[in-house]
Chain A
Amino acid sequence: MKPISLDNFEFTGHEAAKLGDLHALDAHDREQLLMSGVDVEEQGRSGSFLHMDHSGAYCKTNRPGVEILNIKDALKKYDGLPEYFWKLVDPEKDEATRKARDVLHGGYFIRAEKGAKIEEPVQSCLFIKANKAGQSVHNIVIVEEGAELHIITGCAVSHQTQESAHVGISEFYVKKGGKLTFTMIHNWGENVAVVPRSAGYVEEGGQFLNNYVLLRPVKYLQMYPTITLGGTGAVARFNSVVVAPKGSYLDMGNRVIMNAPDTRCEIIARTIASGGTIINRGHIKAGQVPAKGHLECKGLILGGGVIHAIPELEATVEGVELSHEAAVGKIARREIEYLMARGLDEDEATSTIVRGFLNVDIMGLPDKLKQVIDKTIAESQKDMF
């Protein structure tokens, strides 16, 4: 599959109106948001951010200790964010980054203040409503020293059939002893092309935990977020759950660069091709000791498709401990029979096994979001068998 051309999309002229309240969205859009982890009631959320088409539509902070701004406002407030803006991603990297450098529609700036333990997640959504729209955002997340923050961010289109493109730059900074849990749920459509460019830097004793869920079709997705563990004892963990139905082409993976001693990382991906194509990359690079990393790509092909797993380990010093495990398999007959012996029919048994394989539970998401994800998995199973 050829990379998409961003020139086919309109990067101007789709400024959305500001929303006083997330309830102002119509029922259809609210539903789309819900699928992306955004609760319009804002129950159990420390704040909300909504970017629609070419502009920010809603931004609200519900707790002290967490700052949520439109990136444009943050750039003004903090004199262009010289320590953070385009510091981890090179604007000259490729067509997507150049587009994001030339056109900035918005994006979020979320910062947890020093020592602030923000228990309830901040929710955010990057939403595309207009057909043919090209959306370009730049997000910056900063977790200051000793702070803790969970961001649930969804990306969605209003209508699954519309054509659009999304370019998103995200830069994550986890300072000394900080902890960032970043959960991203992609809910694009069958004609949407998506090229996020993300990078993060984790300081001494910091933790970056990343959850990624993609269950709905997307025409083209290409991303390879890179996290650098720059301080002693830093930790990164990626959990990805990905389904590629017919028409989806995904080229995705995670990279961790272990640049300090006592660092640990784990990259775990569960992928199902149900007619689509998944290129599942993974790369751990370690140049300091002790360093311990594990990379795991497990895939199932159910109902056709392609899975191409490319795990890479790169060690440049004696004493690192890196491992990887890649497997593309099928659902074992024995497992289905075992569950059938407990009274589950074949479909129930198979979907129970698939749900277990995807294992969203380990992400520790809020109940309501977990229910929505379970429902989406159940729906996506009709393509699999």
Chain B
Amino acid sequence: MLHIENLHVKIGEREVLKGIDLHINPGETFILFGPNGSGKTSLLMTLMGLGDYAVTKGRIIFKGTDITYAPTYERARLGVGMSFQRPPTIHGLPVRHLVRMCGREREVPVERLARRVNFDQFLERDVNAGFSGGEIKRSELLQLMAQQPSLVLFDEPESGVDLENMALIGREVRSLLQGEDTPRPDKSLEELKRARATSGLIITHTGYILDYINADRGQVLYNGHLCCEARPRDILEHIRKFGYQECVRCLDNALA
């Protein structure tokens, strides 16, 4: 699904990603850990082609297409979807209208999708105007549900969200990545897993989202380098106990 090869990225003169290699398979969810300023958001922004992130080396291959320098909308139309952590307010654009546009030519069942994320009362509101943390997440999820991406980039699904909303958001992120949660007696678990083609790349600080989704793999991003690939829960537990100090040591060894 996604192949990142030796990716180097600069903002201005500062190198923020220093040779990232990452492969995410179809249907796989990858969790990205790392302290503040380690380059996690930069990676997501670069994958979406946003902001002033300049790729200086390496490439990004998505579904076999080199999208390293593709404009953002081409990436989106190919199937990359992103949940923004701090999306801008767009005055005069009602949520309903934007959600409909997310479907491109496809007809979007706006009301039905909105009800799932408890957002049907917000459809006439201007996009992100005065939204709380939880409302932003639900609005972003709603747009992604309409967009039906095959790779979801999620920047901190739990930030600014209260516990009640966390359950709802967790459930819907899961459904976005893994399809509906209904048992299919005719298929084995393995078959079901193979059938779902939506991949995820999720940044998390707290790990709350791991209570809701089946994350396959995880890695720590530290100072622009990826290190310490392991099962996400193990990484989380480790970081809880020891902080990111262990990563520094590990990284030093790797780079030595």
Tell whether A120 is near chain B: CB-to-CB under 8 Å.
Answer: no
* Known pairs A334-B88, A335-B88; A341 contacts B93 (CB<8 A): no
Cα distance, A55 to B83, chains bound together (Å): 60
Cα distance, A18 to B87, chains bound together (Å): 57
Cα distance, A342 to B101, chains bound together (Å): 8
Contact of A352 among B73, B84, B88, B93 (CB under 8 A): B93
Segment 333-372 of A: residues with Cβ below 8 Å from B:
334-335, 337-346, 349, 352-353, 355-359, 361
Tell whether A332 is near chain B: CB-to-CB under 8 Å.
Answer: yes
Tell whether B104 is near chain A: CB-to-CB under 8 Å.
Answer: yes
A93 CB to closest chain B CB, in angstroms? 36
Would you call A341 and B101 a contact (CB within 8 A)?
no
B119 CB to closest chain A CB, in angstroms? 16
Would you call A341 and B76 a contact (CB within 8 A)?
yes
Tally of contact residues, B, Cβ under 8 A:
26
Cα distance, A259 to B75, chains bound together (Å): 58
Mostly, the A contact residues are helix
Count: A-B pairs, CB below 8 Å: 66
Would you call B77 and A343 a contact (CB within 8 A)?
yes
Contact of B50 among A341, A344, A361 (CB under 8 A): A341
Binary CB contact string for chain B from 71 to 87 against chain A (1 if under 8 A, 0 otherwise): 11101110001101001
Closest to B143 in A: A342
Q: Which of A337, A352, A353 has the most CB of B within 10 A?
A: A337
Would you call B92 and A356 a contact (CB within 8 A)?
yes
Would you call B73 and A356 a contact (CB within 8 A)?
no
Would you call A356 and B126 a contact (CB within 8 A)?
yes
Would you call B90 and A356 a contact (CB within 8 A)?
yes
Would you call A346 and B71 a contact (CB within 8 A)?
yes
Cα distance, A177 to B147, chains bound together (Å): 48
* Known pairs A352-B101, A356-B126; A341 contacts B72 (CB<8 A): yes
Contact of B102 among A334, A343, A349, A361 (CB under 8 A): A343
Closest to A356 in B: B92
A189 CB to closest chain B CB, in angstroms? 28
Give the residues in chain B near A332, CB-CB below 8 Å.
Answer: 88
B126 CB to closest chain A CB, in angstroms? 7
Would you call A338 and B76 a contact (CB within 8 A)?
no
Tell whether B192 is near chain A: CB-to-CB under 8 Å.
Answer: no
Would you call A341 and B84 a contact (CB within 8 A)?
yes
Cα distance, A359 to B51, chains bound together (Å): 27
Would you call A335 and B102 a contact (CB within 8 A)?
no
Closest to B48 in A: A341
Tell whether B91 is near chain A: CB-to-CB under 8 Å.
Answer: yes
Closest to B104 in A: A343
Give the residues in chain B near A334, CB-CB below 8 Å.
Answer: 88
Q: Which of B72, B94, B98 has the most CB of A within 10 A?
A: B72
Cα distance, A356 to B92, chains bound together (Å): 4
26 contacts between A and B (CB under 8 A): A334-B88, A337-B72, A338-B88, A339-B101, A340-B71, A340-B76, A341-B72, A341-B76, A341-B81, A341-B82, A342-B76, A342-B102, A343-B73, A343-B76, A344-B73, A345-B73, A346-B71, A349-B73, A352-B93, A352-B101, A355-B92, A356-B91, A356-B92, A357-B92, A358-B92, A361-B94
Residues of B that sit less than 8 Å from A by CB: 48, 50-51, 71-73, 75-77, 81-82, 84, 87-88, 90-94, 98, 101-102, 104, 126, 143, 147
Given contacts A341-B73, A356-B93, 13 further A-B contacts (CB under 8 A): A335-B88, A337-B72, A338-B88, A340-B72, A340-B73, A341-B81, A341-B84, A342-B76, A343-B147, A352-B101, A353-B90, A357-B91, A361-B92
User: Which are the 8 A-B pairs with shortest beta-carbon distances?
Assistant: A356-B92, A359-B92, A340-B72, A356-B93, A343-B76, A340-B73, A334-B88, A345-B73
Residues of A that sit less than 8 Å from B by CB: 332, 334-335, 337-346, 349, 352-353, 355-359, 361
